[in-house]
Amino acid sequence: MSTQIIDGKLSLADQENTLNGMEQALSAKTVNYTGQPGGTQNQATLEDVPLADPLEPLYLQAVDVGGSTAALVAQYQQKGQSLAFQGTAYVSGTAKTVMGFR
C-alpha cells in the first residue's frame, strides 16, 4: 500500500482524472480517500494490484457532508458498479462526502 496527496482545491472531475492516472501509473487501486486536517489536501490510499489484472476506471461522486448517498449508490449498482470507498474529502476547497465507484 501507498499513499498519495491530491489537491482538494481541484474540481471533482480533475481529482477523478488524477486518481485514475495515478492508478494506471502505479498499477494500484484507490481503497480510501479522505481530507487531511488543517488544510484542503486529500490523501488517497492505494493498494497494489497484479499487473495482469485489469484495472477498472474509478468514478467519483460527491454530496454535501451529511447528505444522503443512497440514490447514488443505487444508480451505480444498476450499472453493475459497486462502492469502492466513501469518506469526507475536499472538492473545490469544500468538505464533501466523496464516493468512489468501480
What is the DSSP code string of 40-101?
A: SEEEEEEEE--TTS--PPPEEEEEETT---HHHHHHHHHTT--EEEEEEEEETTEEEEEEEE
Domain count, the chain: 1
pLDDT value for 44: 98
Structural domain of 28 = 2-101
pLDDT value for 53: 86
Summarised one tens digit per residue, pLDDT across range 52-95 is 888 999 999 999 999 999 999 999 999 999 999 999 999 999 99
What pTM was computed for the model? 0.93
Summarised one tens digit per residue, pLDDT across range 1-57 is 999 999 999 999 999 999 999 999 999 999 999 999 999 999 999 999 998 888 999
